[in-house]
């Protein structure tokens, strides 16, 4: 049921971080950007995300402060070392903002957002998804596919219980070049799809789209994953 793979977008140049000036010509959404990263087939996907899907709440104005701010910027090249914050702080924030939403019951009631960062191997940018917006794996998978067009994750339509972990991995590998994995509350990396959706949505801290070949062994042996996580 997987759509045919679009051309491999991960050309060598595309993964190069450039110090282009995003204010002028680095934006992915611009045509023919010379200074920035371009993912040819991803352009359409990003504008969909910006103007349609999960980020529409960015337009809401809280607190009555007038903001003449421009619309949320499209995905931009990540400039090395900018903004100038310590990498120490980046790591802490990344795990904090998703953990904070998990641990506190009070926070959950008032807070409908469960944003987790999504990284893709080979892409220097991160995206974020709000897991509370989806009710099952299929919706999440579709949203991610839209966000990172040219990537497919095999079929999540089948109930997790019906497939063994091994079966899942093989299916993914055959059907696509990428596997969707997540880091859970305990810091282990697991394949997405193995547990019931509510349990997943509750324990997921981060998502990572890995190359299929790297995904072997996930979910069964968390320690083995450590090595490839460190390597990456």
Binding site for another protein (CB under 8 A): 19, 21-24, 55, 58, 61-63, 65, 67-70, 72-73, 78-90, 92-93, 96-97, 99-100, 103-107, 113, 115, 125-128
> In the complex, what is the shortest distance from the CB of residue 194 to another protein, in angstroms, rounded to a whole number?
26
Considering the complex, state which of residue 1 and residue 230 has its C-beta at the smaller distance from another protein: 230
> In the complex, what is the shortest distance from the CB of residue 153 to another protein, in angstroms, rounded to a whole number?
21
* Among 49, 3, 35, CA closest to 150: 3
* Among 168, 225, 218, CA closest to 193: 168
* Among 154, 150, 132, CA closest to 141: 154
Considering the complex, state which of residue 95 and residue 165 has its C-beta at the smaller distance from another protein: 95
Considering the complex, state which of residue 169 and residue 207 has its C-beta at the smaller distance from another protein: 207
Considering the complex, state which of residue 1 and residue 68 has its C-beta at the smaller distance from another protein: 68
Neighbours of 25 (CB within 10 A): 13
> In the complex, what is the shortest distance from the CB of residue 86 to another protein, in angstroms, rounded to a whole number?
5
Instruction: Give me 22's structure tokens.
Output: 């995003």
Instruction: Give me 180's structure tokens.
Output: 């969707």
Instruction: Give me 182's structure tokens.
Output: 């997540």
Distance from CA of residue 116 to its chain's centroid?
8
Considering the complex, state which of residue 82 and residue 213 has its C-beta at the smaller distance from another protein: 82
> In the complex, what is the shortest distance from the CB of residue 160 to another protein, in angstroms, rounded to a whole number?
28
Distance from CA of residue 215 to its chain's centroid?
16
> In the complex, what is the shortest distance from the CB of residue 25 to another protein, in angstroms, rounded to a whole number?
11
Q: What is d(CA 232, CA 139) in angstroms, rounded to the nearest whole number? A: 28
């Amino acid at each position: 049921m997987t759509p045919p793979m679009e051309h491999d977008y991960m050309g060598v140049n595309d993964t190069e971080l450039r110090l282009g000036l995003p204010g002028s010509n680095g934006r992915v959404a611009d045509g023919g950007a010379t200074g920035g990263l371009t993912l040819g087939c991803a352009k359409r996907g990003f504008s969909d995300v910006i103007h349609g899907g999960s980020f529409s709440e960015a337009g809401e104005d809280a607190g009555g402060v007038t903001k003449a701010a421009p619309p949320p910027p499209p995905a931009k090249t990540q400039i090395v070392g900018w903004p100038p914050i310590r990498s120490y702080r980046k790591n802490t924030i990344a795990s904090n903002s998703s953990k904070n939403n998990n641990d506190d019951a009070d926070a959950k009631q008032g807070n409908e957002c469960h944003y987790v960062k999504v990284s893709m191997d080979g892409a220097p940018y991160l995206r974020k998804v709000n897991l509370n917006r989806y009710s099952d794996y299929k919706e999440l998978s579709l949203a991610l596919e839209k966000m990172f067009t040219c990537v497919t994750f095999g079929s999540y339509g089948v109930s997790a219980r019906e497939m063994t972990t091994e079966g899942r991995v093989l299916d993914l590998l055959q059907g696509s070049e990428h596997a969707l994995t997540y880091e859970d509350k305990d810091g282990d990396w697991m394949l997405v799809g193995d547990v019931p959706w509510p349990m997943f949505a509750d324990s997921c801290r981060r998502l990572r789209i890995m190359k299929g070949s790297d995904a072997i062994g996930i979910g069964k042996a968390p320690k083995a994953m450590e090595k490839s996580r460190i390597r990456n």
